[in-house]
Amino acid sequence: MLYGIIDIGSNTIRLSVYDVDERTGDFTLFFKLKTMAGLVSYIDPDTRKMSDAGVEKLERVLADYLRCTSKFRDLKGPYVFATAGVRNAKNAKDVVARVDHALGLSIDLVSGKDEASLGYEGAMRVSDLRTGVQLDVGGGSSEVTTFRNGRPLNATSIPVGSLSLFDRFVHGFLPVPAEADRIRAVIDDALERDEDFDGFSCKNASGVGGSARVALRLRDAWVGGDRHAGRAGRTITAAEIAQVLERVSYDPHRALRDILQIAPERAHTCIPGIVVIQTVMRHFGCERMEVNDSGVREGYLMTRVLGRRGSGRGTTTAR
For the domain that residue 282 is a member of, what is the CATH number? 3.30.420.150
In a shared domain, residues 106 and 146? no
Identify the pLDDT of residue 212: 95
Identify the pLDDT of residue 23: 84
Band of residue 308 on the pLDDT scale cut at 50, 70, 90: confident
- Over 50: is that where the pLDDT of 163 sits? yes
- Helix spans in the chain (H): 52-69, 84-87, 92-103, 112-124, 162-169, 177-193, 210-222, 238-250, 252-262, 270-284, 296-300
pTM comes to: 0.89
In a shared domain, residues 19 and 164? no
Mean pLDDT of 262-268: 93
Residue 33 covered by a domain? yes
- What does the alpha-carbon distance between residue 290 and residue 284 come to, in Å, rounded to a whole number? 15
Amino acid at position 194, single letter: D
Identify the pLDDT of residue 258: 96
Residue 120 covered by a domain? no
> Percentage of residues in the chain with pLDDT exceeding 70?
94
pLDDT 10s digits, 55-86: 999 999 999 999 999 999 899 999 999 999 99
Band of residue 17 on the pLDDT scale cut at 50, 70, 90: very high
pLDDT 10s digits, 125-159: 889 999 999 999 999 999 999 999 999 999 999 99
- What does the alpha-carbon distance between residue 109 and residue 55 come to, in Å, rounded to a whole number? 15
- Over 50: is that where the pLDDT of 179 sits? yes
Residue 122 covered by a domain? no
Identify the pLDDT of residue 310: 53
- Over 70: is that where the pLDDT of 227 sits? no
Identify the pLDDT of residue 315: 44
Band of residue 22 on the pLDDT scale cut at 50, 70, 90: confident
For the domain that residue 67 is a member of, what is the CATH number? 3.30.420.40
Which candidate, 133, 188, 145, 163, places its Cα nearest to that of 12? Answer: 163
In a shared domain, residues 158 and 265? yes
Q: Is 59 exposed, middle or buried (0-12, 13-18, 19+ CB in 10 A)?
A: middle
Mean pLDDT of 285-293: 95
In a shared domain, residues 201 and 282? yes
Say how many domains are in the chain. 2
Count of other CB atoms within 10 angstroms of residue 34: 14
> Percentage of residues in the chain with pLDDT exceeding 90?
84
In a shared domain, residues 93 and 158? no
Buried b (16+ CB within 10 A) or exposed e, 100-123: eeebebebeebebebbbbbbbbbb
Q: Is 296 exposed, middle or buried (0-12, 13-18, 19+ CB in 10 A)?
A: buried
Band of residue 120 on the pLDDT scale cut at 50, 70, 90: very high
Which candidate, 203, 210, 200, 226, places its Cα nearest to that of 288? Answer: 203
Average pLDDT, the chain: 92
In a shared domain, residues 27 and 107? yes
Band of residue 228 on the pLDDT scale cut at 50, 70, 90: very low
For 7, phi and psi rounded to 5 degrees?
A: -110, 110
Residue 118 covered by a domain? no
What is the tally of helices (H) and strands (E) in the chain? 11, 12
Residue 121 covered by a domain? no
Residue 38 covered by a domain? yes
Parallel/antiparallel/unpaired status of strands 235-237 and 288-291? antiparallel
Band of residue 25 on the pLDDT scale cut at 50, 70, 90: confident
In a shared domain, residues 135 and 72? no
DSSP letter, residue 43: B
Parent domain of 19: 2-112+296-315
Mean pLDDT of 265-290: 97
In a shared domain, residues 133 and 199? yes
Residue 277 covered by a domain? yes
